[in-house]
Amino acid sequence: MIGNSLEAGHSYHHLGSAGRNVFYWLTRIKLPKIIIIILILLCIVPLFTHYYLLKVETDLSNMDIHQTRSRLEGFHDFTSMRAADLKARIEEMLRIKQSVSNELRDLEAKRRKLHADVNSLTQQIDELKQELLHQQMDLDRLKISVVQAQAAQREAVERNTPELAPPKRILSNFTPDMLPAHLNSQLCRMFNCFDHSRCALTSGFPVYLYDPEEFSVVNEDWDIDGFLKTYIKHTLRYNSHLTFDPAEACIYIVLIGEALAISHKTGDSGTALDIKKLQMLPYWGGDGRNHVLLNLARRDLSTNSGNLFNGIDTGRAIIIQSTFLRQHFRENFDLIVPPILGPPGGDVWPECAHMLPARRKFLLSFQGEMRALKSSTNHQIVDDAELDIDRVSLDENNLDNFIIQHLKDMSNGITLDKFFIQFECIPTSEEKKVNEVLDWSLCGTDSSRKAILKESTFALILAPSNASFLSTASIQARLYESLRSGAIPVILGGDSIALSFKEVIAWRRAVIFLPKARVTEMHFLLRAVPDNDLLAMRRQGRLIWDRYFGTAQSVVDTIIAVLRDRLGIPPLPASQSPSPSIFNSSFVPLRSDTIAAESEAEESLGPLEPPYPSPAFRRNYTIMLVQGYEMWNDWIDPFKLYPQLPFDTILPSDAKFLGSEVGFRPIGKGAGGAGKEFSESLGGNYQREQFTIVMLTYEREQVLINSLARLYGLPYLNKVIVVWNSPKPPMEDLRWPDIGVPIHVIKAKRNSLNNRFLPFDAIETEAVLSVDDDAHLRHDEIMFGFRVWREHRDRVVGFPGRFHAWDQNNHNAWNYNSNYSCELSMVLTGAAFIHKHYTYLYSHWLPQAIRDKVDEYMNCEDIAMNFLIAHITRKPPVKVTSRWTFRCPGCPVSLSEDDTHFQERHKCINFFSQVFGYMPLLNTQYRADSILFKTRIPHDKQKCFKFI
């Protein structure tokens, strides 16, 4: 009943308004109930039927075609249909289904296409926004560039320094005229006996050598040592100053050599030098002006070597030899040189002892037998040793005798220090035979003396007792041996003698000079030398020996350099490596239109400028005056003239504003400033400049192209040098990016990592950014590194830091370490700034053994460069930013990922330290970051770098 009532109520609820009205009026009219029921039925039944049909139609409209047909077919009796009709009906429904599915698939494809179009348009909008940002940045940079160009134009107009033209050539075009000798040769000095008109500043100091085979100046019974004749001739041929035109020569070298008697008739009574042959030399000019008599000794002093020029009028010629009597030496005219004791040339590092330990087995050593040399003709005492026994009295008050006794007592005294003092030698039969002619005073063989010296902290050298000698070949030979073995020379009587090349070499940095009267203070003085000074003196002695003494080539080159330096003539320019292009003259490489934009494009890093090379050879005639001491004693390369040096002097700060020089770009025009002003100018202590990127690559073309593309828009970039180490040329269809600066691809002669540091003539800037082809550096990192390098031009300035560690537990050797550490000693040149000057030194000054080791391992060239710069400067590198290493996702496997890579670097670091004689690397505990890094600044100011 309740259910019927609910159903009735539900039906009533669904009736229309007309049905409800009829029902209402029927209930109000008083009619028999049967009639009322009939009327109700007649009215309500059609209404229910109508409602039901409407509901079915609505449901059918909301169903798919298959459901609709199924519902409609439910009203039919399918039992009466034939099978063929039923099959046709089903096939028709399947076709309808397939049609609907295809339509839905098409609609889905259209939807996806529209979605892709929306994404593409969104990406294009983002790219256009980025491009707009880039264009805005380029516009800002161009505005800054215009300001910089206007400043450069104003400087060019206002500068009051005219361009220098070469002076008038005064180089002679004829040989010396015949002039009579009118001056006592003993009074000769450079101002009155040297013809400066033949040696112009721009002449290049041409040197002419008389062929010793054709122009011999010794008597017939004598001959010049064959070694000297051959090798001096050959070594001079390697000297860039040699000329074969006597008419243009500045000086004329006559090789006297070491004359040896070849006839038994001469003995000691003959005279080796033939004055007539000397005066008949074709360019002697009557008085020998601008001639150099080169008397090089290869052994100890003979009876005639010291007095070779006694009683002979050498005119206005300069005498160069190892032995000089004090009365015959003409200050700043003649030249004292060491004997030729080393090989002709090449690496000499195996001859050198290691610098450590600082204190060796013997505190002091001396080996030598005292002999007197007497000329058989006039019995003049000629002392080649440290003491002349003929002049030593047995009186205890005699100074020389006292020195001998004190040295013996010191060696036998009660002390913890050990001495090796030997005054009596037992010569071998070979030495006896030689001593008959040369009368050597050195004990033992060269190898035995070397063994003792390598165990000696100091080596004693005794000045001649005969005070008439200013220098002897024996003293210079002992000096040579001491420096070679790392024993610090102690010259007792050093105030009375002169050492080789004393005009230019600061001997006090490598040698201890002590008057003979202070021999009792010697032990105290030697013990007072601390380890750091001791090693500094030993290192300086090694530098002097290696550069000026070690080989015949170095001795000859030093002689030429001293004479040239004396005249104030600059050396010849250092040779650069050619930069042949990998492309032939007819091939034009393809260009790519795509540019890899920097992600930090909203930061302005500097103006866009045309290539601007660093000014070159501006100090040709002044560097010897201002920094001549450093050239000879610190940089150890006075033989070549370099375009620029990392040690050039700095102008004071007010020079930027008072017109002393041009090219300065002070920040905020001198007022300073934060990020905005900082990005517009380089500032610093140097004039404006740019840098060159040198990138070495091998068969990674796409990696290279990607790295080059990322350089687009990099400020202060002069050019990019790509060293193509691969034997195969690049593919012809390879597309090179246009980055706004030249890209010079150099064809390497062979695959060598040493090619990274060749001094290519295409490099026109002082600053060189050495970078691997897979290193990904942001522009702001590069710019910050460049700015830091400008204030540390003599160092390696870069990003990936490494350090050398001592392996005390296993091998007692050095290890190469790349772990994170609070100390570092190397900055890898896979991403570092260096001065171009160091590429010259690496390629031409660094021992060949190191470059050979780099080729052997195909590794370690970056370690070698760190060794070189630390050795020259005695400073650690400068690391910038927190970046420690580089990762290149998707790059081919590099050499550094091989397991043997680190093992080879361990071996390299130990081998290099053996070649240098010590470990030159120095530790540092700090890195460079931007000044305003992590500094709270006002909201209207900008930091120097947003991300550094």
Residues 548-566: tens digit of each pLDDT? 999 999 999 999 999 999 9
**CA-to-CA distance for 399 and 397, rounded, in angstroms?**
6
Mean pLDDT rounded to a whole number for the chain: 83
pLDDT at 625 over 70: yes
Residue 54: predicted pLDDT:
62
Q: 147-161, 234-248, 312-326: which range is least confident on average?
A: 147-161
**CA-to-CA distance for 787 and 419, rounded, in angstroms?**
54
DSSP designation for 569? P
pLDDT band of 150, cuts 50, 70, 90: confident
**With b meaning 16 or more CB within 10 Å and e meaning fewer, what string describes 372-406?**
bbebeeeeebbbbbbbbeeebeeeeeeebebbbee
Average pLDDT over residues 131-137: 77
**Among 324, 314, 241, which residue's Cα sits nearest to residue 278?**
314
Catalytic residue among 862, 898, 929, 940: 862
Is pTM beyond 0.85? Reply is no
Residue 338: predicted pLDDT:
94
Average pLDDT over residues 749-756: 96
pLDDT band of 907, cuts 50, 70, 90: very high
Bridge partner residues of 804 (DSSP): 816
Residues contacting residue 734 through CB under 8 Å, at least 6 positions apart: 589, 590, 701, 705
Q: Do 741 and 718 contact (CB within 8 A), yes or no?
A: yes
pLDDT band of 168, cuts 50, 70, 90: low
Which residue blocks in 413-530 are alpha helix, DSSP H?
A: 429-435, 446-454, 473-485, 522-527
Q: Do 205 and 641 contact (CB within 8 A), yes or no?
A: no
Q: Which CATH architecture has domain 688-928?
A: Alpha-Beta Complex (3.90)
Q: What is the pLDDT of residues 319-344, one digit of tens each?
A: 999 999 999 999 999 999 999 888 88
pLDDT at 837 over 80: yes
Residue 785: predicted pLDDT:
97
Q: Do 574 and 840 contact (CB within 8 A), yes or no?
A: yes
Q: Note the maximum CA span of the chain.
A: 184
pLDDT band of 299, cuts 50, 70, 90: low
pLDDT at 298 over 80: no
Would you list the domain boundaries of the chain?
2-73, 185-336, 349-550, 688-928
Q: Does domain 349-550 have CATH number 3.40.50.2000?
A: yes
Q: What is the pLDDT of residues 74-111, one digit of tens each?
A: 545 545 567 888 888 888 888 888 889 899 999 999 99
**Phi–psi pair at 556, nearest 5 degrees:** -65, -45
Look up 225 and say whether it is catalytic. Answer: no
How far from chain centre, in Å, is Cα 448?
Answer: 39
Residue 735: predicted pLDDT:
92
Which residue blocks in 159-250 are alpha helix, DSSP H?
A: 190-193, 226-237
Residue 20: predicted pLDDT:
55
pLDDT at 578 over 90: yes
Instruction: Provide the pairing of β-strand 831-835 with 735-737.
Output: unpaired
Residue 141: predicted pLDDT:
74
Q: What DSSP letter does each residue of 193-208 carry, written as one string?
A: H--GGGS-TTS---EE
Residue 260: predicted pLDDT:
56
**Among 908, 832, 897, 907, which residue's Cα sits nearest to residue 864?**
908
Bridge partner residues of 805 (DSSP): 815
Both structure tokens of 90: 């089903």
Q: 358-362, 500-504, 652-656: which range is least confident on average?
A: 652-656
Residue 304: predicted pLDDT:
39
pLDDT at 754 over 90: yes
Residues contacting residue 622 through CB under 8 Å, at least 6 positions apart: none
